[in-house]
Every structure is written in structure tokens, then in C-alpha cells.
Amino acid sequence: MKKVFLFILTSITISCSTKEDISKKEVVENYANIAYTNYHDTYNQALALKKEISTFTENPSTEGLENCKKAWLLARESYGQTEAFRFYGGPIDGENGPEGQLNAWPLDEAYIDYVASEETHNINIINSSDKFPNISADFIASMNEKGSETNVSSGYHAIEFLLWGQDLSDGPGAGQRNYKDYIEGKEGTAENANRRKTYLLETTNLLLRDLNSVLTQWEPKQQNYRAQFIATPDQSIEKIVSGLGKLSKGELAGERMFVAFDLRSKEDEHSCFSDNTHNDIIANATGIQNVFLGRYKRVSADSTISGPGLYDLLKQKDESLAEQLKQTIAKGVAESKKIKSPFDQQIKSEEGRKQIAETISLFRKQGDLLAAAANKLGFKFDPEAT
């Protein structure tokens, strides 16, 4: 009896909430829809990548390798946008989240396969069949965390390395792996081609498994993270805003761009084997814009999700801040698209550095503005702290 009464009381409290609370709930629900759809696209793109990799490993050819690379590049476009759902301990990077296994870098490439060095030749997982007889998704996951330390050996960048190969060139140009690395016997260009195939397939399986684990947490009408997320709109708004701010300033402007810019450090960049870092930046910036505006353009089908976003919520509190953020974010996306490829060469040229610096300062400003937005919404976070 008491319980029922309490329930009724709670329901009344909820239904009595102000108009603004309702719109918070709407924003959170729309966010959850975007997250689910974005991860759904990402999963499908990874499936398409898996399909190309299966075809390629069955019958290796130049064309097959090129198809794999194209599929990988496409898969990165949607994954990059999902990073807007990071930095608040959600399904992707909470305590048991797979982020470290999916997207960590720098990759410990010499730990996985041969690199250009006589001395370390054959002392890596692929070329040590006696030490590591069976390569499976579980085995790769265990090697990734061996000895209480992370040895990055899985995820998108492991696949990237196995497709493109090491990029040791000083000038422009991505890795130059020969498709014959996947042909066993005399014709082949490297030993243990079959083990390399297995590694490539199994690390892709692991990627699919990890993405699926995140996807199911955002699925509608389940007892999952999403259900809890929608039920607590106040906390969830804090997560959404702080996640965007941290991705903007600490991660994107700082870790991913300023560090390479500061030290003119070649290959100290996200997708160094494929020279795709410029697109990673655009995808992150787009992901932030998606969430802010509450809309998402699907990659696989030609449709758009649209609903109330942070912009609408903030507008009720401070219209000019909402407008300023909207414009800064749009400018950040536009300026990031002007960074030429490859990123590792642009950080060396005067013109390239100017464009990168301009984009970094916009992303930093965007992080600070999101922190200001948080103050307006009644909470605090540090956009520098990832």
C-alpha cells in the first residue's frame, strides 16, 4: 500500500515538472536515438568491412586489398562521429567499455607483425607460431591487456596496419603493404601469410563483437543503459554536454591535434598507416555538431534523424550563447574540412600549420563555450580533462 502511494507520489512529481524538464527529456531521448542509429551505421559499416576482408583473404588480390581499404575508410566515417558519445563513462568507455580495445593508438605494430628491421624480424605475434599457436578474437583481446599493461594490438588501427602496413616514409605517402603478404608460399612477400589472414579476420571479429556490445546498450525498449539514461534526464544532460566539451578541447584540440602540431611529430596522429587523420578530425567535429543540433544524417541510408538538441535547450536559457556555440561548431566543421591531406605533412608546412592552428583554436573555444553552457544549465565540468 505504502509502495503504491509512493509510486503515485513520484509519478505526480514527474508529471508536475516544469516545461524545461520535459524538454530535457526530449533532448535526451533524441540523443539516445542518434546514438543508437550512429552505432547501428557503424556496426553495419564494420560488417561490410568484414565482408571485404573475408573475400580478400579467401583469394588475395590487389583489387581485393583496395576494396578492404575503401571499406575501412568508410567505416571510420561513422565511427568517428560516435566519439561524441564518449567521456562520461557510458557504454563505449565506462568501466567495462571496449574503447581501449577498439580505437587505441599508438598501435604497437612491431608486437603484431613484421616491421622494417632485421633484428626484430619474426619476434611478433603473427610470426611466432610456436609461442602463440592459435590466433582468435579472445586471444587478441588477452594480448591487448597482457601483464597489467596495455599493448595496443586490436581495433581499427590494428586492421589499418594489417591493410596498409608500416609507414616509415619521411615524405608523403601511406603504408605500402603488398597484397602478397597474404599469399602463402613462394609467391608471397612475407612469411606466415595464413596467420596474418587469421589475425586480420579475428581482430575484425573482435571489433564487431565490441561494437555490438555498445549497440545493444543503446537499443530502444530494452533493460539497458539507454533505459537508465532516459530515466534520468538531469544527469544525462550533464553527461551529454561534458562529453562534447571534453572531446572538443581536451581530446580533439589537445591530444589529437595540438600534440602533433607542437612537436611537428610525424605519425603521432590517429590514423597514421592510411594517412586518414584529416578525416578522423572532420568526423569528430561532425559528431559534436550532430549532438548539439539534435540531428544525424545516416551513412547507409539517405535519411536524417532530427529532433530537439542541446541548442534548443540552451536557447531557452541563453539565446546568444546558444547562437555563438552553433556558429563556432559550424565554423569548426568548415575549417577542419580545409585541412589538407596528409595531416603528417601539413603540420610541417607553414600554410598547413596556419589552418591546423585555426581549427585547434576553434575546437578549444567550443570546449570553453560548452563549459559556459554547462554553467547556464546548472553544473560544472573541465573540458580539458579527458
Partner 1 sequence: MYSKILSLFVLVVTLLLHSCGGKENYEAISESSLYPGGTATTDDFSVNAFGHAAPNISDEDQLRFVTGNAFFKRNWVTAPSSTSDLDGLGALFNARSCSSCHFLDGKGEPGFEKGQSSALLFRLSIPTEAGGTLAEPNYGNQFNHLSILGVKEEGQVNIEYEELNGTYPDGQSYSLRKPHYTFTNLNYGTMQEDVMVSPRIAPQIIGLGLLEAVDENDILNLADPNDKNSDGISGRPNYVKDFTGDSLELGRFGWKANQPNVKQQVAAAFQGDMGLSSSLFSDENETLSQARFINTVTGGYPEVSDDILERVTLYSQVLAVPKRRDAENQNTLQGQQLFTEIACSSCHNPSFITADHSDIPEFEGEKIYPYTDLLLHDMGEALADHRPDGLATGIEWRTPPLWGVGLVKTVNGHTTLLHDGRARNVEEAILWHGGEAENSKNQFKKLSKIERLNLIAFVNSL
Binding stretches for partner 1 (CB under 8 A): 104-111, 115-117, 119-120, 123-125, 128, 147-152, 166-168, 175, 254-255, 258-259, 262-263, 265-268, 272-273, 382, 384-385
Cβ nearer to partner 1, comparing 41 with 181: 181
Nearest distance from C-beta of residue 117 to partner 1, angstroms:
5
Nearest distance from C-beta of residue 178 to partner 1, angstroms:
17
Cβ nearer to partner 1, comparing 41 with 109: 109
Cβ nearer to partner 1, comparing 184 with 382: 382
Nearest distance from C-beta of residue 284 to partner 1, angstroms:
16
Cβ nearer to partner 1, comparing 196 with 266: 266
Cβ nearer to partner 1, comparing 19 with 380: 380
Residue 133 CA to residue 279 CA, distance in Å, equals 37
Helix/strand/coil (H/E/C) assignment for every residue in the chain: CHHHHHHHHHHHHHHCCCHHHHHHHHHHHHHHHHHHHHHHHHHHHHHHHHHHHHHHHHCCCHHHHHHHHHHHHHHHHHHHHHHHHCCCCCCCCCCCCCHHHHHCCCCCHHHHCCCCCCCCCCCCCCCCCCCCCCCCHHHHHHHHCHHHCCCCCCCHHHHHHHHHCCCCCCCCCCCCCCHHHHCCCCCCCCCCHHHHHHHHHHHHHHHHHHHHHHHHHCCCCCCCHHHHHHHCHHHHHHHHHHHHHHHHHHHHHHHHHHHHHHHCCCCCCCCCCCCCHHHHHHHHHHHHHHHHHCEEECCCCCCEEECCCHHHHHHHHCHHHHHHHHHHHHHHHHHHHCCCCCHHHHCCCHHHHHHHHHHHHHHHHHHHHHHHHHHHHCCCCCCCCC
Nearest distance from C-beta of residue 257 to partner 1, angstroms:
10
Residue 285 CA to residue 299 CA, distance in Å, equals 16
Cβ nearer to partner 1, comparing 105 with 139: 105
Cβ nearer to partner 1, comparing 155 with 294: 155
Nearest distance from C-beta of residue 386 to partner 1, angstroms:
9
Nearest distance from C-beta of residue 89 to partner 1, angstroms:
10
Nearest distance from C-beta of residue 67 to partner 1, angstroms:
23
Cβ nearer to partner 1, comparing 191 with 384: 384
Nearest distance from C-beta of residue 121 to partner 1, angstroms:
10
